């Protein structure tokens, strides 16, 4: 399963890439820290899953998610955020996010979510 990582923090992107590298049959195919670059790269590379921070450079929390979900074959989108507010969670889920995790309290749920998506792909 191909994964694309979008986060404006290089440190977080590196951590996510290391984490994903340990998941069988899952590989990171690209990364971006900017919304415009992310959308262009994701549309070109067609990952199965996008790990998306809702607050990134040159875009807002929903723009990238909505654009990706307009695709005929849209990737699964896992939102990762530092903002634990219920209204963010609901907004993202309503816009098509497959999962929504708060980095500080739910980071450990990322690997099981990736495993679930990988099993669904098979």
Domain with residue 89: its CATH number is 3.40.50.2300
Would you give the distance in Å from CA 57 to the centre of its chain?
A: 15
Would you give the distance in Å from CA 61 to the centre of its chain?
A: 12
- The neighbour count for residue 56, using CB atoms within 10 Å, is 22
Q: Is the pTM of this model over 0.85?
A: yes
3-state secondary structure of 37: helix
> What is the domain range of residue 13?
2-121
Task: Give pLDDT tens digits along the chain (122 positions).
Answer: 999 999 999 999 999 999 999 999 999 999 999 888 999 999 999 999 999 998 765 666 577 888 899 988 899 999 999 989 999 899 999 999 999 999 999 999 999 999 999 998 75
The residues, ordered by sequence, that sit 6+ positions from 63 with a Cβ below 8 Å of its Cβ are 35
Number of domains in the chain: 1
Q: Please state the φ and ψ torsions of residue 47, each to the nearest 5 degrees.
A: -70, 160
């Amino acid at each position: 399963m191909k994964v694309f990582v979008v986060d404006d923090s290089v440190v977080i992107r590196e951590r996510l890439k290391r984490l994903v590298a340990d998941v069988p049959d899952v590989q990171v195919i690209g990364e971006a820290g900017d919304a415009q670059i992310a959308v262009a790269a994701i549309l070109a590379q067609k990952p199965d899953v996008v790990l998306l921070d809702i607050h990134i450079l040159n875009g807002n929390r929903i723009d990238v998610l909505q654009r990706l979900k307009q695709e005929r074959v849209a990737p699964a989108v896992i939102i990762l955020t530092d903002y634990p507010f219920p209204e963010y969670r609901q907004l993202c889920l309503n816009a098509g996010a497959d999962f929504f995790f708060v980095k500080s309290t739910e980071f450990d749920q990322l690997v099981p979510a990736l495993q679930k998506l990988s099993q669904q792909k098979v």
